[in-house]
Amino acid sequence: MLDDDDVGSATRMHSLIAGGTAVMNIVLFTLIGVFAFESSTYGALAGLFSGVGSYLFLPTFMRVSAVQEAATDDLPISEAAAQADGSPQLTAIGFGMEAGGVLMLVAGFATNEPEHLLGAGVAVAATIVVAVVGSVLLRQ
């Protein structure tokens, strides 16, 4: 069993990994925006969306993974999520934001020139759909 110092250290590590991933998403998506669309703002907006999503999603995902790994038998993800710290709703929103950032890039590729309003609408719609579905699945 982990004591309070180990749990605090693991939580800080999960947050650092998520923060690093968020920064890398922003940088990578901005570069994609510059090279593919010649629009750094479109790429940065998609990267910001995806980066915030990964910051919300990854810590809880890593905690759930650790709980499942420590279990002696097969543990369903809903039970592991209940045992792990973190909010299932924030995790689902974060996962939706990551998907939304990627779909924003897809929307940019689908149009002749990337439209910020269309891309943001696609990203928000994807976030809502994934968050609602994820919240329902994680509760069961």
Assess contact for 99 and 46: CB atoms under 8 A: no
Cα–Cα distance, 106 to 110 (Å, whole number): 6
- pLDDT for residue 39: 92
- Which residues, 6+ apart, have CB-to-CB distance to 39 below 8 Å? 33, 114
One-letter amino acid identity for 122?
V
Q: What would the pLDDT profile of 71-88 be if each residue is shown by its tens digit? A: 878 887 777 777 777 777
Average pLDDT estimate for 4-29: 85
pLDDT score for 44: 95
Domain ranges of the chain: 4-139
Is the pLDDT reported for residue 139 higher than 70?
no
Question: What distance in Å separates the CA atoms of residue 32 and residue 117, rounded to the nearest whole number?
Answer: 18
Residue whose pair of structure tokens reads 């329902």 in the numeric block: 136
Q: With bands split at pLDDT 50, 70 and 90, how would you rate the model's confidence at 1?
A: very low
List pLDDT tens digits, range 31-57.
999 999 999 999 999 999 999 999 999
pLDDT at 134: 86
pLDDT digits (tens, 9 = 90+) for 85-123: 777 788 889 999 999 999 999 999 999 889 999 999 999
